[in-house]
Amino acid sequence: MTGTVLGPSVPSRGVPFPRRRRWRPALAAGLAAVAAVAAGCGGPGRSGAGAGGSPGPPAPAPTSPTTAQAPAAGRPLRWAACRGGQGPAGFECATLQVPLDPGDPAKGTIGLALDRHPATGRAVGTLVVNPGGPGVSGVDWLGLAWPALPLPIRQHFAVVSFDPPGVGRSDPVTCGTPRQLDAYLTSDLMPTAPAGWSALASLDRRFAAGCVARSGRILPYVGTIDAARDLDRIRAALGEAKLSYLGFSYGTLLGATYAQLFPRRVGTMVLDGAIDPAVGPLAMLAAQTRAIEAEFDAFAATCAAGRCGWRPASTAAGVVAAYERLLARTARRPLAAPRSGQVVDRTVLLYATVAGLYVPAAGWGALGQAIAAAARGDGRPALAMFDSYVGRYAGGGYANTIEAETAVDCEDAPAPSLAAIEAAAPAVARQAPVFGLADLESEVQCTTWPVPATRRVGPIRAPGSPPIVVVGSTHDPVTPYAWARSLAGELAHGVLVTRDGYGHTGYFASRCVQQVVDAYLLSGRPPPAATTCRA
């Protein structure tokens, strides 16, 4: 999970969000069922760039966001009603052709899928929203999230979302068959010996080879810098001189990268559930793991008090111990599941647990009930949460969330060596005995990745931008509050808004945060420094 940060999939008020680096999870905000919604807007994918079969071209040389060149203004978008009943009523869809490789037009273009809902009242502009991930379909997410957006936003903005390159309908990265993904996602996440780490690396190499075989042409061009350049092409195609942007979770990294590349093209920008790009992979993992563990301890306390649907003990420590025993039991004897070939083992239960922690209001009760059922031998509720989190359809197929997320994360930042990951294991296991090793395992994939990283770890300043609002929640289990605080300080004109509460991201969890953010988006005037929302 280090790296990816999807967001709550069954977030507060039912709005699915997205996450950041595969924990081998893959969606965003928690249970992220967004990618499982089959809403087919957007149309054709890349033209002139084959879908794979050969290893991809050499990766672009690593670049710093400050070296990016401004893309030329594109043609206006041609919006039309989403076809075939695939998009919700009132939504329009479009496709924007962008260069696969801006430095080599001969490589063709990729079609970015977009959707929008026009303003219901007097429009003041267009708001582009990214739900997180990476790997979550913004096109799917917007249809689900639209009813939960505050009335002033729906009245005064045309709200647009899109699938970044490699995601959803924008030439999706694919790496394996559903059966292969089943094996990949249910492998043991908690190695305790060198042989276990080597087995993980071997599995990850096979996964990476599948990505090259199926999507080699696009793999070098799906990183956050690529997506940020495409975001500017979207701004131009929308006819907007400045970008108004609301990004959640991974969407904060995309927004901050855009601000570094094009600071004077930022109009208003809100980054909710912030990732700090100055934090290296292992330090990010350590901080995120501590946050997840703390959230689980808080969940255990509610269970001990009889408020989560599972009460194996009368103290939080007793609940944690009972959960660890259940993990050990499912590792030895997985629970049978109703679908052929599916079982609920330790890995599936870990995924389901992380999913339920994203949004306390919507997830903690469901999580408690799922764990209670697993303790009785019924793995179906946990399996449903696992499926939702990793984007697995009822028929056994997958959204491409996991594959796209891995491709973006591994292209974005240099991975530590396998030796460094193994060396970190004992300390991680001591600091976070429930989730530490499973989270650390997520770093192994990028040690095997065939495309070199193109984004350097380091602070983003965005000099010359207007004020940028950064929202952090004090008990966020996926993007720790410290990251929001540090990102706001690193930005030349960052303004921190604090939500005092649990759960991933703040906008859909707090009416106070909504009012602060909406006032800023509509007026352009940032809130006072050190604004805090206690509900």
- The set of catalytic residues is 249, 476, 504
Q: How far apart are CA 503 and CA 482, in angstroms?
A: 15
Q: Phi and psi dihedrals of 135, rounded to 5?
A: 110, -10
In sequence order, the 6+-apart residues with CB closer than 8 A to the CB of 475 are 291, 294, 295, 298, 481, 501, 502, 503
Contact 21, 32 (CB under 8 A): no
Cis preceding-peptide flag for 467 (omega within 30 of 0): no
Q: How far apart are CA 95 and CA 80, in angstroms?
A: 10
Give the count of beta carbons closer than 10 Å to the beta carbon of residue 529.
10
Q: How far apart are CA 369 and CA 495, in angstroms?
A: 39
Contact 445, 470 (CB under 8 A): no
Q: How far apart are CA 171 and CA 519, in angstroms?
A: 36
Query: Can you point out the beta strands (E) in 212-337?
Result: 243-248, 266-272, 335-336
Question: How far apart, in Å, are the Cα atoms of 46 and each of 41, 264, 433?
Answer: 15, 30, 45
Specify the 3-state DSSP secondary structure of 474.
Answer: strand
Contact 14, 75 (CB under 8 A): no
Q: How far apart are CA 19 and CA 264, in angstroms?
A: 28
Contact 304, 321 (CB under 8 A): no
| Radius of gyration, alpha carbons of the chain | 21
DSSP state of 100: S
Q: How far apart are CA 198 and CA 202, in angstroms?
A: 6
Return the closest-CA partner of residue 472 out of 505, 494, 520: 505
